[in-house]
Amino acid sequence: MRVLVIEDDEELAEIVGATLRRAQMAVDIAYDGGAGLERALENDYDVIVLDRDLPGVHGDQICAQLVAQGCRGRMLMLTAAATTDDLVDGLALGADDYVAKPFDLPELVARVGALARRSQPATPPILRHGDLELDTARRRAWRGGRLLELSPKELGVLELLLGAGGRVVSSEELLERVWDENADPLSQAVKTTVSRLRAKLGDPPLIETVVRAGYRI
């Protein structure tokens, strides 16, 4: 899953980003409202972690504009205020969840993961194909009852392919959804990751290459 963190406290933003990456998420970070809004409109994020009190463009404005633009990503709003009125106001703007600072990092990870599973189209908690099974919450996969030792990127690719339900997924879509904005679009990252994933999944082969189109299960 791909997450955008918009937070002007750079130290906090980096801590949140590092924590989410350890939970096997691809994370982009913006340190002000203008940059965050631009990234959110340009890219397809599963979840946007949005500080409410941002310089430049306020978090409320960002939330309202993304909702008006039909943004697919779920929004989790962060704020130093914790009153009921603040909570109601944030949710009324279109936020999907609301967390008051200071917050517990494991709880934040759990909330982000829960929102990602509610993104459209909805992803089932367990994805299956034959003897292959992926637990999207626990970030673990098995084939024939054998636990697969997969890297975060391999898990991300597998989740996207399984969730596609037989649809061909292009390399561009895989790169956008599984990698962050620092990924080189001209690199062989997707091809190399798919090759390693194939080897770990074993026989009979599950991932098909569709020439000039992408991959599918």
Give per-residue pLDDT as tens, 124-149: 678 999 999 999 878 899 999 999 99
At residue 164, the pLDDT reads: 85
Answer with the residue of higher pLDDT: 5 or 88: 5
Yes or no: domain 2-117 corresponds to CATH 3.40.50.2300: yes
Whether 184 has a pLDDT exceeding 80, the answer reads no
Of 58-72, 147-161, 182-196, which gets the smallest average pLDDT? Answer: 182-196
Is pTM beyond 0.75 here? Answer: no
**How do 126-129 and 74-79 pair as beta strands?**
unpaired
Reported as a pLDDT band with limits 50, 70 and 90, residue 106 is very high
Mean pLDDT of the chain: 86
Report CA-CA distances (Å) from 103 to 13, 57, 82, 108: 13, 23, 11, 7
The one-letter code for the residue type at 212 is R
Of 83-92, 100-109, 121-130, 142-151, which gets the smallest average pLDDT? Answer: 83-92
Whether 84 has a pLDDT exceeding 70, the answer reads no
Pick the CATH number of 126-216 from 3.40.190.10, 1.10.3720.10, 1.10.10.10, 3.40.720.10: 1.10.10.10
Residue 28 tokens read as 């982009």
- What are the start and end residues of each CATH 1.10.10.10 domain in the chain? 126-216
- What are the start and end residues of each CATH 3.40.50.2300 domain in the chain? 2-117
Neighbours of 103 (CB within 10 A): 13
Residue 115 tokens read as 């929102």
Reported as a pLDDT band with limits 50, 70 and 90, residue 55 is confident
Residue 98 tokens read as 């609301």
